[in-house]
Amino acid sequence: MLKPNNRIIMHIDVNSAYLSWQAVYELQQGNKRDLREIPSVIGGSIADRRGIVLAKSIPAKAFKINTGEVLWEARQKCPDLVVVPPNYQLYMKCSKALHQLLKEFFPCIQRFSIDEFFLDYTGMSIHYGEPVETANRIKDRVKKELGFTVNIGIGHNKLMAKMAGEFKKPDRVHTLWQYEMKDKMWPLPVEELYMVGRKTMRKLKDLNIHTIGDLATTDVKLLEGKLKSFGHLIWMYANGIEESPVHNGGYIPMKGMGHSSTIKFDVEDRETAYKILLSLTESVALRLREANSCCGLVSVSIRNVELAHYSHQRKLFSPTNITNEIYQTVKELFDESWQGEKIRHLGVRIGELSSDEIHQISFFDGINQEKNRTLDGVIDGLRDKYGKASIIRGIFADGEIVPLLGGVGEDEYPMMGSIL
């Protein structure tokens, strides 16, 4: 039994999040199929040049379908593969529902990504019981009330909890205490250690380091000589050393947010580009207001048909979350940066986020600012109640461009304090 003053951290991770959330939504709408029980993936349309597997079901894994591979390759492996396009607004709503459920249990929660959370359970065993028992109750309640499953990892720090959560899936609770590390973590391939990517893995294997245990027992000076300070960092992780706190207050505010889209045709004229940028701005501004925030920085990114990429950004005179104000800056940035070549991909991103509780008014603000803010609020309410397609701008009525384009990236959430 653990002493109450021992640090106890839980990591909650949704199993196959995008696919699970879509499956639950379809079942709630009366669909008889369960995407989790058939070979299926979440992915973009090949015709729209977004043919990438974003998430896969467990049956799809049996066909060796991998996240990140192109859809035509996945279909070659499994001709009957069911492909469902991503629905990012749904994912955000499911993530919020999970966050609300967790808040009923604990005051100290940190959002790690759209489908991952950390909980600080330190000192709470006396009130709620042993951590494994509590984790199982949480897991079962998520399954019963929200319809999807989670893995929960438990350890003395965030690193160990996250590593534990990656053990056997789905719908499991695992521990990784310090005394379990040599048996449970050290035998794993070194690339399964958090922060060890493909490039680092190759460098480590050149040093004859193949497992996490090999890394943990390697002379740290050798690692620092080959990988600088990063070598010392991953050596600490291999030894279970990580002390970043679970940030209180619901979740860590995002540093920024953005939407981008690969277009299904080559964009050659300014007016079409404006239309796409307006659709992306609508999506970004909607999310900004949902987060009760304003932005102080706007950026536009362009990728041409030769796959060359460039971007341009600007600080605003005063923070805003008004769609028309953000779009005006987006158009100006595009005009200043576009080199006239054919465009394949466009993106709109905002940063320097702040609370929307106080609106700073500058000399340069438009005279219709309050009217536009009220209008945005009414439109947001209608879209939330009746769906995002319930009200659109007339410019999108021809159906050429989707009214709210783009997707959500997990990289928009800051990661663990010292782990970065």
CA nearest neighbour of 191 among 218, 170, 163, 217: 163
Read off the tokens for 193: 């250690």
Concerning whether 336 is annotated as a catalytic residue, the answer is no
Cβ partners under 8 Å of residue 131, min gap 6: 2, 8, 10, 121, 125, 154, 175
Element (H, E) at 40: strand 40-43
Q: Tell me the residue ranges of DSSP E strands in 90-197.
A: 109-113, 116-120, 150-155, 173-176
Q: Which residue has the tokens 């080959």?
A: 226
Q: Which of the following is catalytic: 73, 104, 116, 412?
A: 116
Cβ atoms of residues 42 and 19 within 8 Å: yes
In this structure, what token pair is assigned to residue 114? Answer: 């759209």
51-59 long-range Cβ contacts below 8 angstroms, 24+ apart: 54/18, 54/86, 55/16, 55/17, 55/18, 55/19, 56/16, 56/19, 57/16, 57/19, 58/16, 58/170
Catalytic residues, which ones?
116
